[in-house]
């Protein structure tokens, strides 16, 4: 007789093994390594919650200290490789296989472990794609998650940084997996219930908040004149003509500059109310002046941002908040919103090739992609019209019948021709290809495919790839905004001039922009302190951003 409930039986065994260390559902921090050795089985698929922001750091440290003779060959399925412990488990042989989405600070070490054979790579996903696989073929058997507080029954309050937690718990717990939560404290009554207690099997009182990286804070003091010029080009050359109201901004100084130019330069162009009214976006501190000036009607967030909690709570007409007043973020829903309900994604990258493919993977750093491949892709399932979507579709395919013509999402790559360390943004060949060859991968890790990119903006101008009719035109439009990089200097100047006549390449002067007007005085806030003042003292910047 076939056992149709083997997973439930296995869970019951894990629960029984775990209860030896528990009082009710509670485990002591000191018992965590032994507890994890008791409930995890070699070869398990494990989600150790961590993304580009929140981290189950106490559980990560505990997992990295289990005995590799007892627990080995784990298959880690998680959004972020961010903490050193996330890689220690591979170095020690506790884990072997990895499917993930994002790695920022650990990008160089990920590369070393991949080349050294310590990590067997499944794939580098976009968040939503990894979440999707949680429900199909990468369902975790164990989830180690993080919350702000719990009650005795295991109900969890995840607060402003809810992020991935509901998705991870849904996939794990309803498929007979084990859920263990770290919380800062166990309380009698929660401010709100984000995760129902019957989905949570064990919890540990860490006595400190889980770690959160302030990833989306950009100090206005570091914004350069070139970034301001690039931002002016984007606002006047893309936001205004397409009338982009619903959008997502990627991380970076270029998009921070755009946010800080809205109440000044954008106001002068008469764009208030016509652009940037609805965002899928984390609470960027640099958006405070635009919010205060009444530009932004609504923002849904993937996560929170350190220091923005009080500001968000005091602006509930703009942000999604719970009955307790604090932000409710949800990465999966916000990624869906970015895919289907936004007309534009604008963000930065490290390398763009001659077809417009872009990647943040370089020869020595395997940074993941996070949400960019999703936000920066055209949703082929989209069916509702909007002005920017229809206009972009018409530019790409002017000959077809309007009623049967698919619109296009605006996918904009923005950056300076020479990026960090004076590396060229434009390359003949992506480093990602070299990585794929070395590691024998079927797919090179491309962040945004060239056929999804509609515009590339640099300080030299805007390339509108929607207006390019063949490969040669695309290549020359890209070279035509590549400035003094090798790719830029190798342009066919006559062809770029012809593309410029058609508007497929536009220079600052074509848009009536004088580069000499790109002045820091245009920024609505020129320092972190200005942002704090603009928020009426509600924004409380983390100490590393305070220099007064």
Partner 1 sequence: MENLSFTLKAPAAAGGARPRAIVGVVASGNLEVLAERISPAGACTVEIATSAHGFGAVWQAVVTDFVARRAAGGLRLSINDGGARPDTVALRLAQAVRLIEEPGA
Q: Is 443 in the site for partner 1 (CB under 8 A)?
A: no
Q: Is 401 in the site for partner 1 (CB under 8 A)?
A: no
At its nearest, how many Å lie between partner 1 and the CB of residue 220? 18
Could you tell me the two tokens for 255? 């998009």
Which one among 418, 434, 450, 520 touches partner 1, defined by CB under 8 A? 418
At its nearest, how many Å lie between partner 1 and the CB of residue 302? 32
Residue 84 or 419 having the CB closest to partner 1? 419
Distance (Å, rounded) from C-alpha 226 to C-alpha 425? 14
At its nearest, how many Å lie between partner 1 and the CB of residue 229? 8
Cα-flanking dihedrals φ and ψ of residue 120, to 5°? -95, 115
Q: Is 91 in the site for partner 1 (CB under 8 A)?
A: no
At its nearest, how many Å lie between partner 1 and the CB of residue 524? 21
Could you tell me the two tokens for 335? 């990624």
Q: Which listed range, 132-140, 218-226, 427-435, 537-545, lies at the site for partner 1 (CB under 8 A)?
A: 218-226
Nearest to 247 by CA among 276, 213, 215: 276
At its nearest, how many Å lie between partner 1 and the CB of residue 492? 15
Buried b (16+ CB within 10 A) or exposed e, 400-435: eeeeeeebbbbbbbbbbbbbeeeebbbbeebbbbeb
At its nearest, how many Å lie between partner 1 and the CB of residue 509? 9
Residue 136 or 516 having the CB closest to partner 1? 516
Distance (Å, rounded) from C-alpha 535 to C-alpha 530? 9
Nearest to 5 by CA among 169, 199, 176: 176
Distance (Å, rounded) from C-alpha 87 to C-alpha 64? 9
DSSP state of 448: B
Could you tell me the two tokens for 58? 């106490």
At its nearest, how many Å lie between partner 1 and the CB of residue 456? 15
What secondary structure does DSSP assign to 243-268, as a single string? Answer: T--EEEE-SSHHHHHHHHHIIIIIHH
Residue 149 or 476 having the CB closest to partner 1? 476
Nearest to 259 by CA among 362, 347, 133, 384: 347
The site map against partner 1 for 482-511 (x = CB under 8 A) is -xx----x----------------------
Q: Which listed range, 16-24, 209-217, 222-230, 381-389, lies at the site for partner 1 (CB under 8 A)?
A: 222-230
Q: Is 205 in the site for partner 1 (CB under 8 A)?
A: no
Which one among 170, 205, 225, 292 touches partner 1, defined by CB under 8 A? 225
Residue 167 or 458 having the CB closest to partner 1? 458
3-class secondary-structure state, position 354: coil
At its nearest, how many Å lie between partner 1 and the CB of residue 424? 10
Q: Is 425 in the site for partner 1 (CB under 8 A)?
A: no
At its nearest, how many Å lie between partner 1 and the CB of residue 434? 24
Q: Is 294 exposed, middle or buried (0-12, 13-18, 19+ CB in 10 A)?
A: exposed
At its nearest, how many Å lie between partner 1 and the CB of residue 262? 23
At its nearest, how many Å lie between partner 1 and the CB of residue 461? 12
DSSP-assigned beta bridge partners for residue 327: 321
Q: What is the Cα Rg of the chain in Å?
A: 24
Could you tell me the two tokens for 154? 């295991």
Residue 63 or 258 having the CB closest to partner 1? 258
Q: Is 386 in the site for partner 1 (CB under 8 A)?
A: no
Which one among 323, 516, 543, 548 touches partner 1, defined by CB under 8 A? 516
Name, in order, each residue with C-beta under 8 angstroms of 399's C-beta and a sequence gap of 6 or more.
Answer: none
Q: Is 23 in the site for partner 1 (CB under 8 A)?
A: no
Q: Is 454 in the site for partner 1 (CB under 8 A)?
A: no
Which one among 167, 172, 226, 304 touches partner 1, defined by CB under 8 A? 226
DSSP-assigned beta bridge partners for residue 455: 412, 464
CA distances to 118, 143, 233, 445 from 169, rounded to whole Å, are 28, 7, 43, 28
Q: Which listed range, 54-62, 159-167, 180-188, 515-523, lies at the site for partner 1 (CB under 8 A)?
A: 515-523
Could you tell me the two tokens for 245? 């109201």
Distance (Å, rounded) from C-alpha 517 to C-alpha 510? 15
Q: Which listed range, 236-244, 272-280, 434-442, 514-522, lies at the site for partner 1 (CB under 8 A)?
A: 514-522
The site map against partner 1 for 32-71 (x = CB under 8 A) is ----------------------------------------
Distance (Å, rounded) from C-alpha 521 to C-alpha 543? 25
Contact positions vs partner 1 (CB under 8 A): 224-226, 229, 416-418, 422, 459-460, 483-484, 489, 515-516, 518
């Amino acid at each position: 007789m076939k056992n149709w409930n083997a997973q439930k039986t296995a869970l019951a065994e894990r629960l029984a093994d775990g209860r030896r260390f528990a009082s009710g559902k509670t485990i002591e921090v000191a018992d965590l390594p032994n507890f994890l050795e008791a409930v995890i089985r070699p070869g398990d698929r494990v989600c150790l919650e961590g993304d580009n922001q929140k981290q189950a750091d106490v559980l990560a440290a505990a997992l990295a200290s289990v005995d590799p003779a007892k627990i080995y060959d784990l298959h880690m399925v998680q959004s972020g490789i961010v903490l050193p412990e996330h890689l220690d488990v591979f170095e020690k042989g506790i884990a072997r296989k990895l499917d993930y989405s994002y790695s920022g600070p650990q990008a160089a070490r990920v590369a070393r472990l991949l080349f050294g054979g310590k990590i067997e790579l499944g794939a580098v996903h976009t968040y939503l794609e990894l979440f999707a696989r949680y429900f199909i073929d990468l369902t975790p058997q164990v989830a180690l998650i993080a919350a702000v507080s719990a009650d005795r029954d295991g109900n969890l309050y995840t607060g402003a940084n809810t992020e991935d937690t509901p998705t991870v718990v849904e996939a794990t717990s309803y498929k007979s997996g084990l859920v263990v939560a770290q919380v800062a404290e166990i309380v009698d009554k929660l401010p709100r219930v984000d995760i129902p207690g019957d989905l949570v099997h064990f919890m540990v009182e860490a006595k400190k908040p889980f770690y959160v990286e302030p990833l989306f804070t950009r100090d206005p003091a570091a914004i350069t004149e070139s970034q301001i010029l690039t931002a002016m080009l984007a606002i006047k050359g893309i936001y205004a003509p397409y009338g982009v109201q619903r959008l997502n901004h990627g991380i970076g100084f270029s998009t921070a500059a755009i946010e800080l130019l809205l109440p000044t330069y954008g106001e002068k162009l008469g764009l208030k109310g016509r652009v940037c009214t609805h965002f899928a976006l984390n609470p960027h501190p640099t958006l405070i002046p635009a919010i205060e000036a009444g530009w932004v009607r609504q923002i849904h967030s993937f996560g929170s941002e350190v220091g923005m909690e009080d500001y968000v709570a005091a602006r509930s007409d703009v942000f999604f908040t719970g009955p307790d007043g604090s932000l409710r973020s949800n990465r999966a829903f916000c990624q869906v919103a970015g895919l289907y309900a936004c007309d534009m994604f604008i963000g930065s990258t490290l390398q763009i090739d001659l077809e417009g493919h872009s990647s943040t993977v370089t020869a020595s750093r395997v940074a993941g992609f996070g949400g960019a491949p999703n936000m920066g892709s055209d949703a082929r399932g989209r069916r509702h019209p909007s002005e920017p979507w229809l206009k972009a579709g018409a530019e790409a395919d002017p000959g077809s019948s309007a009623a049967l013509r698919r619109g296009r999402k605006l996918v904009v790559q923005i950056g300076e021709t020479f990026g960090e360390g004076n590396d060229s943004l434009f390359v003949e060949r992506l480093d990602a290809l070299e990585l794929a060859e070395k590691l024998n991968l079927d797919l090179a890790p491309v962040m945004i495919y060239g056929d999804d990119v509609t515009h590339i903006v640099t300080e030299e101008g805007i390339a509108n790839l929607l207006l390019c009719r063949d490969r040669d035109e695309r290549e020359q439009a890209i070279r035509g905004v590549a400035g003094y990089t090798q790719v830029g200097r190798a342009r066919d100047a006559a062809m770029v001039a012809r593309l410029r006549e058609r508007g497929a390449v536009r220079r600052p002067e074509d848009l009536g922009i004088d580069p000499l007007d790109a002045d820091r005085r245009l920024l609505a806030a020129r320092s972190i302190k200005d942002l704090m003042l603009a928020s009426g003292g509600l924004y409380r910047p983390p100490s590393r951003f305070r220099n007064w």
